[in-house]
Structure 1
Amino acid sequence: MKIANHSVVEINYTLKDAEGTVIDSSEGGQPLKYLQGVGNIIPGLEKEMLDKSAGDKFTVVIAPEEGYGPQNPELIQTLPSSAFGGVEKLEVGMAFRAQSTDGQPIEVEIIDIDGDQVTINGNHPLAGVELHFEIEVIAVREATPEEVDHGHVH
């Protein structure tokens, strides 16, 4: 069976950056199961999965625009440390939940502290990163009506 929209797909994968550093992998864990065609995985990888079958192995490079998007400079801001009221000690790498300008929840990370000024980044950690995938398709099956209705694998 070839992968099509509303296929349940099970893959093993390794994700690396352009320098070959492993970012994520299913190795040593469970394969990734997802529902094709409903946005469960990044758009570029979802496109590349179409028409593949169980047993297929391939590599693919996904540009940022088809992955987690380019870096958005508007999501990098410098705030006074007083904006983090209730937090005793701020450190680079700390993550916080905040609201975007349109009221959506967003995770931000402290990327710099200079005296009383704290710089945060609301971009996804993989925004702007070229993604290098090694994929092995383990299994493909038709989704149940309930899975299609719910938009994810059961």
Structure 2
Amino acid sequence: MQIEHKKVVYIHYTVKNDAGELIDSSEGKDPLAYLHGYRNIVVGLEKALEGKTTGDKLETTVSPEEGYGEVQEEMVQQVPREQFQGIDNIEVGMHFEAQTEQGPHLVEVTAIDDQFVTVDGNHPLAGSTLNFSVEVIEVREATEEEIAHGHVHGVGGHEH
């Protein structure tokens, strides 16, 4: 069975940055399960997997545009320190949930001074080229419920 829209796909993968540093891997874990065509994984990897079948292996490079996007400077903001009332110890690397017009958004503290806390709302991999090594473990039909929910259920997928 070929990977196409509305198929459940199980893959083992390793992803590295351009410096060859390991970002993530499924090695030693259950395969990653996703519903093809529903943007459950980055679009560049999904495109590379289209038409593949069980047992296929591939190496693919995903640009920032088809991965986690380019770094958006407007997502880096200086916030007055007094907006962090009740938090005694703010440190670089801490994550907070910011309330935006589009709903909650995760930001990371990147700098602190006496008056301001600089936060970055970009995805940590924004601007990164991703190098994937992938093996297709299984391809199956999606259930009606998985299609309705837009993700895989059960082992390797979402549990309700």
Q: TM-score range by the shorter chain?
A: over 0.9
Q: 2:99 matched to 1:103?
A: no
For residues 14 and 99 of structure 1, what CA distance do their matches in structure 2 show?
A: 33
Structure 1 segment 31-110 matched on structure 2, within 5 A:
31-100=31-100, 102-110=101-109
Q: Which runs of 5+ in 2 are unaligned?
A: 154-160
CA positional deviation for 1:151? 1.0
Q: Which amino acid aligns with 1:33?
A: A
What amino acid maps onto 1:64 in structure 2?
A: P
Distance in 2 separating the partners of 1:104 and 1:64: 24
SS of aligned partner of 2:86: coil
Indicate the residue corresponding to 2:157 in structure 1: none
> Distance in 1 between the 2:103 and 2:145 partners?
28
Give the % identical residues: 52
Measured against aligned partners, the alpha-carbon deviations of 1:87-133 in whole angstroms (never above 9, x if no partner) come to 01110000000023x33211000001123221110000011111111
Which AA in structure 1 matches 2:127? G
Give me the whole-angstrom Cα distance separating, in 2, the residues matched to 1:4 and 1:103. Answer: 31
Aligned to 1:14: 14
Tell me, in whole angstroms, the C-alpha distance in 1 between the residues paired with 2:130 and 2:50. Answer: 18
In the other structure, the counterpart of 2:115 is: 116
Aligned residue pair count: 153
What TM-score do you get using the length of structure 2 for normalisation?
Answer: 0.92
Structure 1: runs of 5 or more not aligned: none
**Deviations along 1:1-47, whole A, 9 cap, x unmatched?**
11010110000000111101001100111110010001111111111
Find the residue that maps to 1:47 and give its secondary structure. Answer: helix
The code of the aligned residue for 1:73 comes to: E
Question: 1 CA distance for matches of 2:141 and 2:33?
Answer: 13
Q: 2 CA distance for matches of 1:119 and 1:21?
A: 27
Quote the residue 1:26 is aligned against. Answer: 26
- The alignment yields a C-alpha RMSD, in angstroms, of 0.9
SS in 2 for 1:38: coil
SS of 2:83's equivalent in the other structure is helix
Q: Which amino acid aligns with 2:125?
A: L
CA distance in 2, matches of 1:116, 1:59: 47
SS at match of 1:33: strand
What TM-score comes out, normalization by structure 1 length? Answer: 0.96
